[in-house]
Amino acid sequence: MEYLKLTNCDLVVSRIGLGCEVLGGTDWGKVDLREAARAVAVACELGITLFDTADVYGLGRSEEILASALGKRRHEVVICTKVGVRWAVSDPGRRARTFIDSRPQYVIGAVEASLRRLRVDCLPLCLIHWPDSNTPIEDTMEALRRCQQAGKIRSVGISNFSASQISQANAIIPLAAAEVSLSLIDREAAQAIVPTCQELGVSVFAYGPLAQGFLTGKYGEDSVFDCSDRRHRLKHFQSDQRPKFMIILERLCEVACQAGRTPAQVALRWTLDVPGVTSIVVGGRTSAQVEENTAVADWHPKAFQLACL
């Protein structure tokens, strides 16, 4: 496993992180939570030290299960959680309504709630989940500073912010990390946001490197997802748009075959090798998936193998 030190703090993280949204038990179809929890333990054994979650994942459930799955190791690894999304449950069994809310009072309360669910005294890394157009960035970042000064947060960062917003936030509090969506079929961040982070000296976490499973090659043009699985509303899984993304997938599968690797491993290595990317955040609902994903840590392909992607 490879490790890098984050900027503006003393945290060191594995270059492959485990995305823990699936532990929330919602939005990904049927999930075996016991197996997903075992995958957390396997991740630790394989050298993963970065675990990415958010308070809104499963409405707090992801944080709670992650804390239990890690046990005492939760004090040794880097848990990165995100706040700034408020939710309201209307009818039992139905998807909760969510609202972006980064007002200082709400952020401070969310940090305290995450501390309780994760059963830690201080959050190693806390990110603002989404930019809030109704709240000045200055107010939100100052709220994080207050939490940091109170010993509730060790390091701060942001997620899903634009390049200009990252610059603005970093001018208020030096950021430990900025999290962006980045994959073979979603390369915009590599062109616009990652270079800005490099200029500012901000570490980058790339989430969605497998495009929600699309780049594993497991799902064909006939795959269908019901409303309990978020993929039913993502563009690269829509029947009318999927063909153009299948071209990229077919090329990926060809490279994987030539390299003797799985399509997922090639896709992950491509994202890891984007200049400026510190770590990738990869979901894993089974131990086998975690083992497959972490195998790319020791694989350094020749340039020509990924050049055609």
| Active-site hit among 57, 106, 207, 219 | 57
Q: Residue 280 phi/psi, 5° resolution?
A: -110, 145
**Mean pLDDT (whole number) for 169-187:** 94
Chain mean position to CA 160? 10
Q: Residue 28 — very low, low, confident or very high, per pLDDT cuts 50/70/90?
A: low
Predicted local distance difference test score (pLDDT) of residue 242 = 73
| pLDDT tens string 94-150 | 667 889 999 999 999 999 999 999 999 999 999 999 999 999 999 999 999 999 999
57 classed as catalytic:
yes
**Identity of the amino acid at 220:** G
Q: Check pLDDT > 70 for residue 174.
A: yes
* Averaged pLDDT for residues 246-251: 86
**Structure confidence at residue 247 as a pLDDT band (50, 70, 90):** confident
3-class DSSP state of 285: coil
Question: Rounded to an integer, what distance in angstroms lies between the CA atom of residue 100 and that of residue 258?
Answer: 44
pLDDT at 223 over 70: no
Helix (H/G/I), strand (E/B), else coil: 59: helix
Q: Could you tell me what percent of the chain has a pLDDT over 70?
A: 90
How large is the average pLDDT for residues 168-192? Answer: 92
Q: What is the pLDDT of residue 304?
A: 74
Q: In this structure, are residues 46 and 288 in contact, taking their beta carbons and an 8 Å threshold?
A: no
More confident residue, 202 or 223: 202
Select the more confidently predicted residue: 243 or 47.
Answer: 47
Query: Tokens at residue 30, please?
Result: 């049927």
Instruction: Please write the tens of the pLDDT for every residue from 50-85.
Output: 999 999 998 889 999 999 999 999 999 999 999 999
Average pLDDT, rounded, for the chain? 89
Model's pTM, two decimal places?
Answer: 0.90
Q: Is the pLDDT of residue 226 over 80?
A: no
Phi-psi bin for 178: left (phi > 0), alpha (psi -120 to 50), beta?
beta
- Tokens at residue 233, please? 């509303």
| Over residues 5-22, mean pLDDT | 93
List b or e across 170-187, with b for residues whose CB sees 16 or more CB atoms inside 10 angstroms. Answer: bebbebbbbbbbbbbbbe
Q: Catalogue all structural domains in the chain, each as residue range(s) with its CATH number.
A: 3-214+264-302 (3.20.20.100)
**Contacts (Cβ under 8 Å, ≥6 apart) of 60:** 113, 117
- Tell me if 259 sits within 8 A of 296, measured CB to CB: no
Mean predicted confidence (pLDDT) in 274-281: 95
Q: Which residue has the higher pLDDT, 11 or 237?
A: 11
> Do residues 6 and 155 lie in contact, with contact meaning Cβ atoms separated by under 8 Å?
yes
